Amino acid sequence: MPGIAWSTAADHRFTVNLSMLFTELPLLERPAAAAAAGFGAVELWWPWAGAPVPGRPELDALRGAIEDAGVRLTGLNFYAGRLPGPDRGALSVPGEESERFRANVDVAADFAHSLGCTALNALYGNRVEGVDPAEQDALALENLVLAARAADRIGAVLLIEALNGPESPHYPLLSAPAAVDVVEKVDRATGLGNARFLMDLYHLSRNGEDLPKVIDAYAARTGHVQIADDPGRGAPGTGSLPLEELLGRLRGAGYEGWVGLEYKPGDRPSAEAFGWLPAAARAPR
Is 161 considered catalytic here? yes
Find the catalytic residue in 97, 161, 209, 244: 161
Find the catalytic residue in 97, 209, 244, 262: 262
Strand partners, 150: none
**Strand 195-200 versus strand 41-44 pairing type:** unpaired
Is 262 considered catalytic here? yes
Residues classed as catalytic: 161, 262
